[in-house]
Amino acid sequence: MAYKINEELIEKIKDTVNIVELVSRYVNLKPSGSNYVGLCPFHNEKTPSFTVSESKNLFHCFGCGEGGDLISFVMKIENLSFVESVKLLADMYNIPLETYDKTFNEEIKKEKDILYKINKEAALFYIYKLRKTPKALEYLRGRNIDHNTISKFGLGYAPNSWNEIYDYLKSKGYQDSDIEKAGLINRRKDNTGYYDKFRNRIIFPIIDNRNRIVGFGGRILGEGKPKYLNSPDTIIFEKGKNLYGINLVHKMSNREKIILVEGYMDVISLFACGITYSVASLGTAFTQDQAKLLKRYGKNIYICYDSDNAGIKAALKALDILEKEEVKAKVIVLPGGLDPDDFIREKGLDEFKRLEENALNSIDFKLYILKKKYNLDKLEEKIKFTKEAAKLLKILSSPIERDVYIDRISKETNISKEAIGREVFGNSYKSNTRIYKDKYINGKNRYNKNKILPVKAVLEPAHLKAEKNLLKLMIQNVDYYKRIKRSLDREDFFNYECKNLVNIIYDEYENNPGLTKLSIGLIINKLEDKDDIDYEIIDEIFNIDIVTEDINKLIEDSINTVNYFKLKIERESLANKIKELDLKKEKKKEDVEELRSLCIRLTELDKELKTHMQRLGKEGT
C-alpha cells in the first residue's frame, strides 16, 4: 500500500514523538544537565559520549560523529530508508498515514491490536503452565536450559488438553472468532465447537523486533507427530517475514554479526552459551523478506544449518537468496550430521567459536560440497568435479579470485591450471603472464606507442591515476625518473601493481647507470615471478599517452596527489590508534604520553593535508 509522505506528516511525527523516549528504547539514557547521555549504539565505547537534547529534538555522538533528528536516528539504528523510517515511526506512535487509494482501514488496526492482546494473554497462560508442569521443566533442564534462559525467551507449556487455552481466553472475554484468527484454536470438523491447536507441547513465543508476540511455535513433549507445530499465517504473522529471536538480537547484539540457524532450540542453546546474535527461520524455507530483515541486524552474516543433506540444500538456497540482497554470507560447517543445538551441548562454546572463525564463503562451501560428492582418487569423478568447479568459478568477477581458485583446484586434482582455465573461460584462456609475454616480447600484438586504445568509461581514484602517470614517465625517460625519485620513495606508491613496477624501475636505473629508458619486455620478464599481478593495470600504464602542454606541472601535481593520499592513509591509521587508546578504561602513564604525541602528530598531518589541498586546488575530499 502506498502512503503520502509529506512535510505535514513529518512535522506531526516530530511534534508527537519525544526523542528521549524513542532513543531510550535502544539506549540506556541518564539525565546530564538539560540533556541526556548514554553509550553510543553506533560504535563501541566505555565512556558515554552519546547525547540527546529533548528541547532541540536532536541526538549527537561526540565519539563517532553520528547525529541528527529522530527520523535519522531510526534510519541508522534500524538500517531503514527515510520513507521506511517515517512509516515505522507513524506505526509505533499511532499516527495515521494517508494512502493514495484512500483505503486505510481503522478496523484492521483494531483487529491487529486484539490479536496482539490475545497472544500476550496466551503467552502468560503457557508460562504459568510450564512452572506447574515438572516433566516440561525437566525436559528443558535436560537440554541445559536454565531459568534465566527460559525467562528471556518466555518459554511455556501447552497442557495435554483439548480446550484449556480456549476456556482461559474465553474467560478473559475474547470472542471465538478472534481466538481462531490468532491461530490458537481450530474449528471441529462437525462445527460443534473448537479445540486447542497446541497440546502437550513446549511453547516458543515468536516475538517481532518491536517486542510484540506475533505467533507461537510448539515442540511435542515426548513422542508424537508433528514434532514441531507453528501458528498459521495471520494478519499479524507471516512466517516468511519473521525470524525467531530477532527481538533479542535487536536488544542485545552489537550488530557486527548474526548467525542464521534452523530451529528454536538452536537459537536458545547458542544464547544460553553467550552467543546472543542468532536467529531462526521458523521452520520454513528461507525467504527474500527474511534476508532483508537479517541484513538490518548484522554486518557479517553466517549460516549454520544442520549438516545433513536437507540442511546443506537449505544452506545453498539461503546463500543464493542473500547474494541477491548483495550479502556475502559465510557457512559454519558442523560435523557428523549434528545441528547447532546438539553440537553446542556435546562440544561446547570454544569448539563452536573455532568453527565460526573458519566459516566458508559461498564458493568455498560449494567446493566443499562437490568434494564430498566426488571421489578425487577416481579419474572419472575427478573430471566431473573439475567441470562442476569450473562452472562455479565463471561467476567470480575478480581476476585475482579466479586465479587463486584455479591454482587451488589444480593442486588438489593434479590437473594443469591451463586446462582448468580453458574449462572456465573457453579455449582462448591463457595465464596472465603468457598473454603479456606474447603481447610484448614474442611479437604477437606487439606494443605500439602510436596505437589508439579505446577510452575506458571508469572514473579511477586520483591517486591511482597519478601513480600510473608517474610510472609511465619514468619508464620513458631517465630524467623524469631522477626528478620523481627526489620527491617519492618506493613505499609512497600504494597500489599493489604500481609498487611492484616502481621497485623494478628504481632497481633497473640504480643498477644500470647508462640507461636512458626502460624496455617493456624487460619489465614483463621481471614481473613474471610476482604473485597475483593484475596485468590489466600494467597494460594500462604501458599504453598511457601523456599529452600535456606543461609536463612539469603534471609531474608536480601527480607527486602532490600521491603525497596527499599517503598523508590521508597515515591520518586514518593515527585516528584509529587515538580512538583505541582513548577507549582504554585504565590508562598508564605511557598511554597518556603516547596519546598526547599522537594528537600532536594528528594536528601536524591536518596542516600538511591542508597545504596539499591548496596546492592541488581542492576544497576537501
| The C-alpha cell that represents 509 in the structure block | 636505473
| Cβ burial 161-199 (10 Å sphere, 16+ → b, else e) | eeebbbebbeeeebeeeebbbbbbbeeeeeeeebebbbb
- Residue 453's alpha-carbon distances to 119, 483, 512, in angstroms, are 68, 29, 32
Positions in the chain whose pLDDT score sits under 50: 1, 100-104, 428, 443-459, 618-621
The predicted pLDDT at position 526 comes to 84
User: Residue 23's Cα: distance from chain center in Å?
Assistant: 24
Q: In this structure, which amino acid lies at residue 589?
A: K
How do residues 148-159 score in pLDDT, each as one tens digit? 999 999 999 999
Q: Do residues 169 and 121 lie in contact, with contact meaning Cβ atoms separated by under 8 Å?
A: yes
Which residue, 550, 607, 600, 552, is CA-closest to 574? 600
The predicted pLDDT at position 331 comes to 96
Q: In this structure, which amino acid lies at residue 536?
A: E
How do residues 216-247 score in pLDDT, each as one tens digit? 999 999 888 899 999 999 999 999 989 999 99
Phi-psi region of 620 (alpha: psi -120 to 50; beta: other; left: phi over 0): left
With a pLDDT cut of 70, the percent of the chain lying above it is 89
Q: In this structure, which amino acid lies at residue 621?
A: T
Is 0.75 surpassed by the pTM of this model?
A: no
Sign, CA dihedral 416-421-427-428, equals negative
Q: How would DSSP label each residue in 145-207?
A: --HHHHHHHT-EEE-S-SSHHHHHHHHTT--HHHHHHTTSEEE-TTSS-EEES--SEEEEEEE
Which residue, 183, 194, 167, 301, is CA-closest to 239? 183
Q: Give the DSSP H/E element, type plus range, for residue 286.
A: none
Q: How would DSSP label each residue in 55-106?
A: TTTEEEETTT--EE-HHHHHHHHHT--HHHHHHHHHHHTT----BTTS---H
How do residues 262-282 score in pLDDT, each as one tens digit? 999 999 999 999 899 999 998
The predicted pLDDT at position 427 comes to 56
Which strands sit side by side in the sheet containing 360-361, from one edge to the other?
278-280, 257-261, 300-303, 330-331, 360-361
Q: How many Cβ atoms sit within 10 Å of the Cβ of residue 372?
A: 9
Q: Do residues 97 and 9 lie in contact, with contact meaning Cβ atoms separated by under 8 Å?
A: yes
Q: How many Cβ atoms sit within 10 Å of the Cβ of residue 526?
A: 17
